[in-house]
């Protein structure tokens, strides 16, 4: 069993914002596995597939970003997910735009959604895939920036970053060691 969680906000008005890159990467994971988000479970939209005989759950919390941890905690408890079976994908203001960074564990940094996940779970020893969003040309407070729409000229860059993040998550779900996945996809 493996759980891939992409963080974001459920309302249509947030679809094209930086804060929804985790949702987009989760969608890429589902598409790569040929499944769709068909059911609601534990305050999340969920898609399920089998990879090498193991069940993989792909989830997008419907609790809004700052309460993402509630849905993640419920899914982890329901499916008895261990820290080694969890990966969370999200946008990261601390990384340059388009960069993907995988880590086996760590802090929440400046990300309120990850802060919620760690607080609700009570541990931080799970894989995370961060998609960089910082653009030095756009100066504004972080909260305004993460909820702003991605510029059209950057769509391809972020689509490629989400695709790489999804590939990395699926590599982890296939049982590849985090260190190897980091080597292949970081950057």
pLDDT (0 to 100) of residue 168: 97
Number of domains in the chain: 1
* Strand order, beta sheet including 44-51: 39-41, 44-51, 54-61, 2-6, 86-96, 127-134, 100-103
Q: What does the alpha-carbon distance between residue 28 and residue 79 come to, in Å, rounded to a whole number?
A: 22
pLDDT band at 178 (very low <50, low <70, confident <90, very high): very high
Q: What is the pLDDT of residues 116-172, one digit of tens each?
A: 999 999 999 999 999 999 888 888 888 888 888 999 999 999 999 999 999 999 999
Residue 133 has a pLDDT of: 94
pLDDT value at position 7? 97
Residue 35's contacts (CB-CB under 8 Å, 6 or more residues apart) are 47, 48, 49, 58
Q: Which of 6-15, 26-35, 139-148 has the lowest mean pLDDT?
A: 139-148
Q: Which tens digits make up the pLDDT trace of 100-131?
A: 999 999 888 888 999 999 999 999 999 999 99
Residue 117's domain is classified under what CATH number? 3.40.50.1470
Average pLDDT taken over every residue of the chain: 94
**Annotated catalytic residue 163:** no
CA gap 132, 27 in Å, rounded: 18
Three-state SS string across 38-50, please? CEEECCEEEEEEE
- Domain membership of residue 141 as a residue range: 2-185
Percent residues over pLDDT 70 in the chain: 100
Instruction: Tell me the pLDDT tens digit for each residue of 37-76.
Output: 988 999 999 999 998 888 999 999 999 999 999 999 999 9
Q: Mean pLDDT, to the nearest integer, of 77-81?
A: 97
Question: Positive or negative CA dihedral for 80, 119, 162, 101?
Answer: negative
């Amino acid at each position: 069993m493996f759980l891939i969680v992409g963080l974001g906000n459920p309302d249509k008005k947030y679809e094209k914002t930086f804060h929804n890159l985790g949702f987009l990467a989760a969608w890429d994971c589902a598409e790569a596995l040929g499944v769709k988000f068909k059911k609601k479970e534990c305050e999340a939209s969920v898609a399920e597939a089998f990879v090498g005989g193991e069940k993989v759950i792909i989830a997008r919390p419907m609790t809004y970003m700052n309460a993402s941890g509630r849905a993640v905690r419920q899914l982890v408890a329901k499916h008895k997910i261990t820290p080694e079976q969890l990966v969370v994908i999200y946008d990261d203001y601390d990384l340059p735009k388009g960069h993907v960074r995988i880590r086996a564990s760590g802090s929440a940094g400046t990300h309120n959604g990850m802060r919620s996940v760690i607080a609700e779970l009570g541990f931080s020893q799970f894989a995370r895939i961060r998609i960089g969003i910082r653009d030095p040309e756009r100066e504004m407070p972080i909260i305004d920036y993460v909820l702003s729409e991605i510029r059209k000229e950057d769509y391809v860059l972020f689509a490629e970053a989400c695709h790489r993040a999804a590939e990395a998550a699926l590599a982890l779900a296939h049982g590849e060691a985090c260190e190897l996945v980091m080597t292949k996809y970081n950057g």
